[in-house]
Structure 1
């Protein structure tokens, strides 16, 4: 007698697909929120008035996926200031990207090949839920702070004249949703390009050996810079004091600094300027270069950094050694049949794309009143303007303000990176000729057979 078949308990296929997508989105957001909350707390954002910390946390997550935050302040009908922040706290972004990718891949584990329709379905469901999360972030990243003026008389006069000063912020909806969607798609694309655990449709399997070794090797370089920077940040916090502020930099903006150092080590340039005092510590050579005389635009490269600290020249050999090691790793993970010039071209393209992304990720454009996000930029600007309108002592001076811009010169950085990749790719392939490649069986073992 035929026994009835039993089905494993669990939700139906369609429901299971949506639950999987929800797990990917929630895992990424929770990981980002945990890192951002700890970093903001260390930076001193936990004592913001009017219960503003949750909104500040939402704004930080919006920035981490590429969104913009608009700042505004007003004193009734007499004064108003509008400004904004466009800068990615890359520590938060990287943690969110890694957790999102890991959860997405775990749902596809033990599989070498996946159908294109299935992958598109999974990605589509994840994208829809991610868009909903971005909309909720945009709604939550909005808050205003009423600034007290002092005594009862000042409060009464300000109310009568309509001069009650307020400062606040809100996420720019179209930018946050649009670039946030691009952020998720980029994370998934990099996941499939880097990880050997990511199953591909049968039509794309033949291309994986041309992409994954070099992509994985460059990802390893970025991780190496993060590890070096984290060690340096912790040592600085222990040796030089100011531990909370230094650890806040590690948890919020470590990749912004160390990946910029990677690009500078390859000869790339950034242009920028800094007006006011940064609320969080950054390397002194970088801060000194950004403070160009007269508040003009400064050039950040090996030469200008070395003028402030000769140890900056070590960025050049560090970048060269790590790139060469990555090229060797890429060649070792490739079949021996791949020719030397192919290694060089693939590694050159991968290095160029990596530096392009690093340049786009490290762009900063921030003005005025950044302390509403828990990190002040010195004095002046919004606080001084409203204080001047109100007269007397400046009640907003504690808010802080300033200006920080940082933009890469991509038209030179990308070709330089490609040249470095071609050179180190060829050298790495030469070094790998005498070692066993991944998946390769030595001739002696192959000829011995099963016996």
Structure 2
């Protein structure tokens, strides 16, 4: 548990340092690190602004730094499973007691982070008319963030529960309570295959990020993306490779670290459509997203089938992978969406949409993506089952 908190804090701090957040005024860096931790477990950080009676501000941010989320999930899951790996059986009461002790410590961490993640910054009005009006009327606009403590505790505990349950479902060594033996053959192989699929996309993203950092300018920006939001790019790439469509827009001087081709697609007067076609119009290499999805999803189908009893029919493998992939894509659509905006006006000048304002959002066409995942899962599950059966038969022939 403590190792998970340290790992999440370390990854968040390094990522924010690479992004330049160490230069924030008023020694705000530690509080920004804590706020990043809060958002990484589903907590609610609310943006606020104050510009006095003669001005107005508007700000909002909704994004999960999934690199921090993934780091915490892996470390906490490993710590949870470590005492169980040599056990043949475990009772439901004992398992609930062990999880409850972790939850109490986690609750204390959430409460501490919720109280610590609060900060206010003064916003520069830049140069020109807005600056002159600000000096004349003594306007000193500020923007800051606070934590919605009840929502942070609620979603943080749900996040922990999800991590612990998923850890039990994925691990083939961890014992299950006596009343749940069917999960070992029906759910565990599919859960393991989906986690392996998500991690494979992250590994590919790490390789690409390291190549980009070594061959292009400003490697610090690349490492900031790597340490804060690599799954925010890698996992939507999975859905786009499956044929899904996302909608989004980048407006104004603000933006999020993202590949150049994605930034170009999103910087349009209207809401943009992001899919493999629109990306390939600007960079033909984006068609490789389709190839990567086909290879890796089929590999997940083979991996699932190789962990299931050999007697299961191929159609059942197909159905199980389809459901698992649809749930995975649904999760990506819920946690991968991004929304951020900021606006400032003084005496109506700026209109919350001038040179100091901006917005970024990216969200999926969720149910279309889930439907495509079902189709891909049916095909990949069926083919993966046949491939696993062929590979098993060949290995038996080689042994004889």
Alignment correspondent of 1:431: 387
Distance in 1 (CA, whole Å) between partners of 2:297 and 2:396 is 28
Aligned residues: 391
Which residue, out of 276, 279, 285, partners 1:302? 276
* 1:96/1:387 CA distance change after superposition, 3 Å: farther
TM-score, normalised to structure 1, is 0.81
Alignment correspondent of 1:316: 290
Deviates further, 415-424 or 203-212? 203-212
Which residue, out of 386, 396, 415, partners 2:371? 415
1:53 aligns with 2:9: no
Alignment of 1:222-301 (within 5 A): 222-278=198-254, 281-292=257-268, 294=269, 296-301=270-275
Which residue, out of 316, 338, 345, partners 2:319? 345
Q: CA deviation at 1:40?
A: 0.2
Q: CA deviation at 1:175?
A: 2.6
Distance in 2 (CA, whole Å) between partners of 1:387 and 1:233 is 45
1:335 aligns with 2:309: yes
CA contact (8 A) 2:59 2:341 kept: yes
Distance in 2 (CA, whole Å) between partners of 1:220 and 1:149 is 48
Q: CA deviation at 1:287?
A: 1.0
What SS class does the counterpart of residue 407 from structure 1 fall into? strand
Alignment correspondent of 2:130: none
CA contact (8 A) 1:37 1:57 kept: yes
Distance in 2 (CA, whole Å) between partners of 1:401 and 1:48 is 20
Alignment correspondent of 1:167: 143
Distance in 1 (CA, whole Å) between partners of 2:366 and 2:125 is 47
Alignment correspondent of 1:203: 179
CA contact (8 A) 1:77 1:162 kept: no
What are structure 2's unaligned runs of at least 5 residues? 127-132
Distance in 2 (CA, whole Å) between partners of 1:158 and 1:83 is 19
* 1:444/1:115 CA distance change after superposition, 3 Å: farther
Q: CA deviation at 1:101?
A: 0.3
What SS class does the counterpart of residue 202 from structure 1 fall into? coil
Distance in 1 (CA, whole Å) between partners of 2:292 and 2:398 is 39
* 1:134/1:436 CA distance change after superposition, 3 Å: same
Instruction: Tell which structure's C-alpha radius of gyration is larger.
Output: 1
Distance in 2 (CA, whole Å) between partners of 1:149 and 1:286 is 30
Q: CA deviation at 1:388?
A: 7.8
1:191 aligns with 2:163: no
What SS class does the counterpart of residue 89 from structure 2 fall into? coil
Distance in 2 (CA, whole Å) between partners of 1:42 and 1:432 is 44
Distance in 2 (CA, whole Å) between partners of 1:444 and 1:305 is 46
Alignment correspondent of 2:188: 212
Q: CA deviation at 1:206?
A: 2.4
Q: CA deviation at 1:386?
A: 5.1
Alignment correspondent of 2:330: 356
Question: How large is the Cα RMSD of the aligned pairs?
Answer: 2.7
CA contact (8 A) 1:67 1:176 kept: yes
Deviates further, 176-185 or 324-333? 176-185
Distance in 2 (CA, whole Å) between partners of 1:286 and 1:149 is 30
